[in-house]
């Protein structure tokens, strides 16, 4: 019982301190988890061979490409890519049409703008990583 009181006292002490800034600790923690201002975007690593972005300069929504994977169709991201980050040691071949058809281009480094021809036209992707 003494232990429980000590925990309660500590929690109450923390709560009273957090009330000084206007919110309970539970709300502050929830806000940090959900609306974390310090959260950064995923970086292209071997966990992801590449990240394609809806807008140039790596802006907007993103689509993660796994290493050594084939995407015959990009689903909701079809015809939306404008920039791409490529992980070191990986290459990404993009195709204009689904099922790896039509003109293609290989990216081995990140590109803040994929070019007028491929902008908003990519429909399938193949990734390769060493």
- Tens digit of pLDDT for each residue in 64-111? 999 999 999 999 999 999 999 999 999 999 999 999 999 999 999 999
Q: Are residues 100 and 56 in the same domain?
A: yes
Q: Are residues 65 and 28 in the same domain?
A: no
**pLDDT tier for residue 3 given thresholds of 50, 70 and 90:** very low
Number of domains in the chain: 2
Q: Are residues 66 and 113 in the same domain?
A: yes
pTM for this entry: 0.65
CATH number of the domain to which 125 belongs = 2.60.20.10
For residue range 25-56, list pLDDT tens digits in order: 666 665 555 555 444 455 455 589 999 999 99
Residue 47 pLDDT: 85
* In a domain? residue 68: yes
What mean pLDDT comes out for the span 98-125? Answer: 97
Q: Are residues 30 and 54 in the same domain?
A: no
Residue 13 pLDDT: 46
Q: Are residues 98 and 70 in the same domain?
A: yes
CB-based contact 59:83 (threshold 8 Å): yes
Q: Are residues 26 and 57 in the same domain?
A: no
Q: Are residues 61 and 105 in the same domain?
A: yes
Q: Are residues 69 and 121 in the same domain?
A: yes
What is the domain extent for residue 26? 2-34
Residue 66 pLDDT: 95
* Residue 94, C-beta contacts closer than 8 angstroms, at least 6 positions apart: 81, 84, 104, 105, 106, 107, 114, 118, 122, 124, 125
Q: Are residues 65 and 123 in the same domain?
A: yes
Q: Are residues 9 and 70 in the same domain?
A: no
DSSP-assigned states of every residue in 71-116: ES--GGGTT---EEEE-TTEEEEEEEETTTEEEEEEESS-BS---T
Who has greater pLDDT, 24 or 104? 104
């Amino acid at each position: 019982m003494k232990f429980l009181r000590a925990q309660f006292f500590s929690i109450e002490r923390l709560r009273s301190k957090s009330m000084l800034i206007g919110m309970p600790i539970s709300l502050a923690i929830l806000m940090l988890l959900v609306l974390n201002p310090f959260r950064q975007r995923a970086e292209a690593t071997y966990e992801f061979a590449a990240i394609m972005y809806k807008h140039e300069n790596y802006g907007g929504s993103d689509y993660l490409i796994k290493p050594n994977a084939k995407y015959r169709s990009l689903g909701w991201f079809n015809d939306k890519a404008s920039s791409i980050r490529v992980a070191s040691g990986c290459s990404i071949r993009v195709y204009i049409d689904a099922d790896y058809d039509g003109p293609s281009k290989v990216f081995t480094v990140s590109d803040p703008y994929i070019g007028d021809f491929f902008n908003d036209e990519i429909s399938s992707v193949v990734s390769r990583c060493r």
